Structure 1
Amino acid sequence: MVKTTTPQELRHRWVNGLEVALLDVREEGSYADAHPLFAVTVPVSEVEAKLPALVPRRAVPIVVYDDGEGYAERAVQRINALGYADVSVLAGGLTGYSRVGELYRDVNSASKAFGELVEAIRGTPSLPPEEIRELILEKGETDLVVLDTRRFEEYNTMSIPLGRSCPGGELLYRVFEAAPSPDTTVVVHCAGRTRSLIGTQSLVNAGIPNKVVALRDGTIGWTLANLPPLDTGKTERVPLPSDKAVQRAREHATSWAEHVGVPIIQVTQLLSFVAEQEKRTLYLLDVRDPDEYRQGHPERFISAPGGQLVQATDEWIGVRGARVVLYDTDGVRARMTATWLRQMGWDVYVFDHESEIPSTTLPQPTWTPTIPSSSSTASSITADGLKTLLVQGATVVDLARSPAYRKGHIPGAWHASGPELARDVQAEAITKATGPIILTSADGLLARVNVEEAQNAVGSLSREVLYLEGGTAAWVKAGQPIETGEASARWLSPPIDVYKRPYEGTGNDRTAMEDYIEWEHQLVAQLANDGVAGFHVVRDSREHVP
């Protein structure tokens, strides 16, 4: 019999800071429609690929749920097979939880709700898009800097005039390079609200001498105000700061981090945390720019750019109540990121940037999740072998996320829902063929771990199920052709695997954008009614700011 956890027991763990991972094992689209505050999206078909990084400790309590689709019990089996020791199903599922707690929309909801709370408590300064445009026209580049706090890829897709890429975790680190004069006005923005608010308040908290304002409602607000079209394809970045600029930023970051109460640790304490990693979940995160991370980083530290970590904490940290250690090389970015995580209720520490982590210092965990042997022995085929089988009538079923599938897929490949793979491979488009079924995915891992699911579903048809070794990436590397775009897409079921974010990309529906902004404005009320967040926004009561 599958073990269950009641919604009340789950909420008790949240309120009391006890470790627990709550997994929504439906598709992301369903998750974005409704989920509890600290739920993490891990579709049942992606358990093996996503869970080890999100939940690195074997004994942590894991609770899974669905909304009656039957995914939860399957997820428990797959999670147990990875070696996790304490897995249960949320009693009553999503509907049962809704009777005692709030349900939230969208993705990264906890971070977004926190951003709204910050604005409500601190009165984060912002101006409507029309006034920001007037500032741009009036001041120009000499007396105004516009800093886009999103990832560079998002900035490159669309941005407002004068905008330069400066992701949120880099703001204080680079701001004195972007605006060396205290007379320069700094405008901070993202596509919606959260990164604009957190970025602006970061600079306000740090006490920089410049006037700082957020673009109210971001590029969504700009578009809804019917202002000139957004720029596309821009590549301007705020450069790395000089030593003098870093020193200034560090003084401001240190003052604010001390006020918030961020602990700074040395190697000895880090080692003690690592020694306890089987008893207390530990995340080691490098919050620097990803390019810096790729150039070199301490062993076992994962890249988690600071601005995105605050914006989307659940994409890196799956266990509420866990311990987190942040790393940088400058004493600015980790401190500023930690001030936010601490206010969000995380037990967070900063590794002293002046200390060095020897490469042999951090022992590996004594336990790591392992892919079950059943998927390890699944039959595979190479790209060259697939080319031959396609001529003989093989059917390709792609488990990649739908945007990746649209971007490029093997000619003739069908897209399947991961959680509903068993249903999808029994669709008429698949059953009318006679050759083998070849599963693929971006790198082949999702295909490999889902072979057994597909084979069981088509067993009566005497169809062999194989997976493409190395996935679609191997097919492309072998010089084989791909199809792109919606025109060539073949859907076995509606693509709800990825939630269509109304704040990313261009051409978003106006009603969806308006609805999204209205939803964000309601989040503070939801938090108050829910009562489990554990957020505490720190006010600035310092007598002296650097």
Structure 2
Amino acid sequence: MIKYASATELKDRLDAHARIGLIDVREHGQYGEGHLLFASNCPYSRLELRAPLLLPDRKAEIYLYDEGEGVAERAADRLACIGYEDVLVLRGGLAAWQAAGYGTFKGVNVPSKVLGELVEVAERTPQISAEALEDLQKNEGGLSLFDGRPARDYRKMTVPGSRHLPNGEMLYRFAALGLPEDQPVVIHCAGRTRGLIGVQSLINAGIRNPVYAMENGTQGWALSGRKLSRGNDAAPLPDLSVDQLEQGRAFAERFIARYDLPAIGPGEVPAWRDEQAYVIDVRSDAEFAAGHVPGAVHAPVVQLVQATDEWVAMRRARIALFDDNGVRAALAAFWLRQLGHDAVVVMDGLKLVADDSARSMPERLSGITCVELARLGCSATVIDLRSSMAYRAGHIPGALWAIRPRAEDVKAEVEGSVVLVADDSGVATLFASELDDETLADCRYLEGGMEAWTRAGGAIEVTPERPADDEAIDFLFFVHDRHDGNLEASRRYLEWETGLVRQLDLGERRAFKIIRTKAHADV
């Protein structure tokens, strides 16, 4: 039986800072056009794949909402099937929330962006314009310019002369850079948040160099009439010596003490696991791949702070953070606690040995090869479950485009065998669970997906206008082209970002626990 909550009841729980989960089960494009401030997006198309990561505590009080069309009720049933015990649906969905007079927020990763804006106001984080940055670059001795985003973003575009070094890794590896203490350091991102948080992290840590965030990042550079550098190769992250690692540990202990951050040892982690807390490794991709604590989720510091809602769907979440010497975990805890979470640093956490937690999933579909599909020809119905934009760019001729919450739309067109094309076999399995038993009996997954079909020389059909924009509920059209030279989109985005704080009501503002800090050279 579905349990419901009214908009007022949910708002009261949020304003009371209760430890609750909040999930928007609509697709990404719908979510980005307007959602509750602290909602994480867990689209119904990927629900059972994503929910165990976003909500490890299956006994927690969890709220779901949609657009009032019944998807949230279907999602509640699915979560109950995989062990969630206390799931409630917002009665009337997003429309009921708005009708009650409560606000919604466009865009993604909004709480993290609000944090950056609040910190900039509280700390007056130093910034530098594109013009001033260019002048500094011409001076003898110059400056050190860093792009604080992940490598994939750096490759897409960056400010000329910038070096790739993600936030979090910056403080951790600062000693290995060997910079003169009087050399200015400038950090930029694509907009504002990561630049502001990256600079404020160094200031709070007591770094002696003059430090600045580049105003409005790559978009500010482009809006000033300057060209961005594209197609960049990210150099390997600088290695630390054994001495520098030990010095970093001592620094982490001072930072933890300075800001009164809670720290635990490996022996205390099992109790956190028993309570289904988040266990997150914040090291680099390469370090995590080389070895990690079993069961830990990987979220590099820069992304965990910048996009917290993509890993944590609980308010006041309990989060245990792992790294090697404590610097990155302490920095992550410092910012996550300002987002209202109960984040702790696990010192010596990599010594922990634990069992990976099992996750129940529907049985996977059987596969079909590209050769077998070609032999079936028109006798099979091919359904493409990839993103709407990937489908537009090229799909198997005659393939239908579909998405799980609207599976009913294609059922009438199914004839013969069904072959599902997806980037993830799990997505295909979940879509298949929406089909009736007769159709499901002859439903298979294309092995290797569209990549394998293309490699095999299969024919490709391009449909730039199909699916139509109103059907492409997975794609966020909101200023989506701001990184591809659309300056008007960049202006709109920056106006949106700087206006977020003004949208907060009193209850939402109180959820942020901003720590007023000053530079501490003795940290």
Distance between the aligned counterparts of 1:470 and 1:198, measured in 2?
A: 42
Give 1:408 shift.
Answer: 6.7
SS of alignment partner, residue 383 of structure 2 = strand
Q: Is residue 517 of structure 2 the alignment partner of residue 531 of structure 1?
A: no
Write the letter of the residue equivalent to 1:491: P
| C-alpha distance 77-216 of structure 1, shift in aligned 2 (>3 A) | same
The counterpart of 1:514, out of the listed 491, 500, 506, is: 491
Q: How many residues align?
A: 521
Match of 1:371 in 2: 361
Q: Point out where structure 2 has 5 or more consecutive residues left out of the alignment.
A: none
Q: For 1:485 and 1:119, locate their aligned partners in 2 and report how far apart those are by CA, in whole Å.
A: 48
Answer yes or no: is the 8 Å Cα contact 2:401–2:467 preserved in 1: yes
Contact 1:44 1:75 in 2 (8 A): yes
User: In structure 2, what is the equivalent of residue 400 of structure 1?
Assistant: 386
The residue that corresponds to 2:449 in the other structure is 472
Could you report, residue by residue, the CA deviation over 1:190-215 in whole angstroms, capped at 9, with x for unpaired residues? 10111111111101111101010001
> Cα distance 1:29–1:167, how it changes in 2: closer, same or farther (>3 A)?
same
Whole-angstrom distance in 1 between the partners of 2:203 and 2:519? 13
Partner letter of residue 503 of structure 2?
A: Q
Rounded to whole Å, the distance in 1 between the matches of 2:45 and 2:249 is 44
Match of 2:174 in 1: 175
- In the alignment, the residues of structure 2 paired with residue 224 and residue 487 of structure 1 have an alpha-carbon distance, to the nearest angstrom, of 33
What's the counterpart of residue 198 of structure 2? 199
Change (3 A) 1:208 1:528: farther
Q: Given that residues 274 and 363 in structure 1 are in contact (C-alpha distance below 8 angstroms), is that contact kept between their aligned partners in structure 2? A: no
Confirm or deny that 1:443 pairs with 2:424: yes
CA positional deviation for 1:531 = 3.0
The Cα shift of 1:222 comes to 0.9
**Equivalent-residue separation in structure 2 for 1:455 and 1:182 (angstroms):** 67
Equivalent-residue separation in structure 1 for 2:482 and 2:521 (angstroms): 42
Task: Give the CA deviation at 1:164.
Answer: 1.1
Distance 1:74 1:191 in 2: 37
Partner of 2:32: 32
Cα distance in 2 for partners of 1:407, 1:287 equals 35
Over 3 Å counting, the alpha-carbon distance change for 1:297 and 1:238 in structure 2 is closer
Instruction: Report the counterpart of residue 328 of structure 1 in structure 2.
Output: 323
- Do the aligned residues in 2 keep the contact of 1:108 with 1:311 (CA within 8 Å)? yes
Q: Are the aligned partners of 2:403 and 2:431 in contact in 1 as well (CA < 8 Å)?
A: no
Moved more, 110-119 or 94-103: 94-103
Query: Secondary structure, in 3 states, of the residue corresponding to 1:49?
Result: helix
8 Å CA contact retained: 1:33, 1:106: yes
Q: 1:166 to 1:404 in 2, by over 3 A?
A: farther
CA contact (8 A) 2:128 2:212 kept: yes
Q: SS of the counterpart of 2:240? A: coil
**Cα shift at 1:54:** 1.1
Following the alignment from structure 1 to structure 2, what is the Cα–Cα distance between the partners of residues 383 and 20?
Answer: 45
Shift of 1:262: 1.2
Distance 1:214 1:418, change over 3 A: same
Distance 2:367 2:287 in 1: 37
Deviations 1:261-295 (A, max 9, x none): 211211222122223x2xxx311111000111001
* Aligned-residue offset at 1:232: 2.9
**1:305-330 CA-partner distances (Å, limit 9, x unpaired):** 01100001111112222210111112
In the alignment, residue 90 of structure 1 is paired with which amino acid?
Answer: L
Does residue 332 of structure 2 align to residue 337 of structure 1?
Answer: yes
Describe how 1:66-105 pairs up with structure 2 within 5 A: 66-98=66-98, 99-105=100-106
Paired with 2:180 and 2:337, the residues of 1 have a C-alpha distance of 31
Which residue matches 1:357? Answer: 351
1:228: Cα distance to partner?
2.6
**Cα distance in 2 between the residues matched to 1:412 and 1:485:** 8
Amino acid at match of 2:183: T
Q: CA deviation at 1:172?
A: 0.3
Which residue of structure 2 aligns with residue 57 of structure 1? 57
**What SS does the aligned partner of 2:386 have?**
coil
Distance 2:124 2:243 in 1: 31
Deviations 1:146-198 (A, max 9, x none): 11111101101111111111111211012232352101111101101111111
Q: Give how far 1:356 is off.
A: 5.0
Report what 2:221 is aligned to. 222
CA offset at residue 545 of structure 1? 2.0
1:288 aligns with 2:269: no
1:136 corresponds in structure 2 to 137
The aligned counterpart of 2:157 is: 158
